Chains A and B, each alone.
Chain A
Amino acid sequence: AQRVTQPEKLLSVFKGAPVELKCNYSYSGSPELFWYVQYSRQRLQLLLRHISRESIKGFTADLNKGETSFHLKKPFAQEEDSAMYYCALSGASNSGYALNFGKGTSLLVTP
């Protein structure tokens, strides 16, 4: 069975502080992990995927298979980072690689 867990419903940090949004998963095979973001009054959109190993808007995420984690990090949070963040998994057992989402973490960056 596949499961994505985001333990924090809400994370509040000050502007300029480091931020880490946690994501843990359970999956028996080799997963593909993603972070999606939804800014206020905007559509859900892809932020980054682990296979790309890229930094988007200063965010990075490393897949740790030993700890089954894919935490999202940014060294210096900005107010425009305030949004809803969803961790998602796509595994080979999914027909067609549909996404299995966590419940999401609301990030609030205050000045």
Chain B
Amino acid sequence: EAGVAQSPRYKIIEKRQSVAFWCNPISGHATLYWYQQILGQGPKLLIQFQNNGVVDDSQLPKDRFSAERLKGVDSTLKIQPAKLEDSAVYLCASSLGTDYYNEQFFGPGTRLTVL
């Protein structure tokens, strides 16, 4: 089966600009996650969706980051305006459900560079 798709794969922007990332989860997966991975760190959860509802967005910097999952399938993550410290790989993952035994499948990530 097809895996989690993300686009773009790379993005370079200047600080204060806006950027958006797109994720298409595995078909039938109700749960979708966005993680931020800064160089040298492990992935950190930004937001988790169950269908089109938000389960956890406690670590999402809501003054500049926003995410939506319209119709409970695809999702977009937006940063507006970007800061230098937002340079990172943004990973999307999906799973069948929210329980711990549901394996999370990761996309290839979008590497963002903010100059």
Contact = CB atoms under 8 A, between A and B. Distances in A.
A103 interface: yes
A101 B43 contact: yes
B98 A102 contact: no
A57 interface: no
Given A43-B108, A46-B103, A97-B99, A88 B42 contact: yes
B107 A96 contact: no
Interface string B45-57: 1001010000110
Interface in B76-105: 91, 98-105
Main secondary structure of the interface of B (DSSP, over half): loop
A103 B31 contact: no
B8 to A, nearest CB: 16
A44 B48 contact: no
Contacts of B31: 96
A21 B42 CA distance: 15
A90 interface: yes
B107 A43 contact: yes
Contacts, number: 57
Interface in A1-27: 4, 9
Interface residues of A, number: 23
A103 B107 contact: no
Interface string B3-39: 1100000000000000000000000000101000000
Contact of B91 (A4, A44, A104): A44
B56 to A, nearest CB: 4
Contacts of A56: none
A28 interface: no
Contacts of B109: 43
Contact of B56 (A51, A98, A101): A98
Interface of B: 3-4, 31, 33, 40-45, 48, 50, 55-56, 58, 91, 98-109
Interface of A: 4, 9, 32, 43-46, 49, 51, 86, 88, 90, 94-104
Which 3 residue pairs across A and B have the least CB separation, nearest first? A101-B42, A96-B98, A95-B56
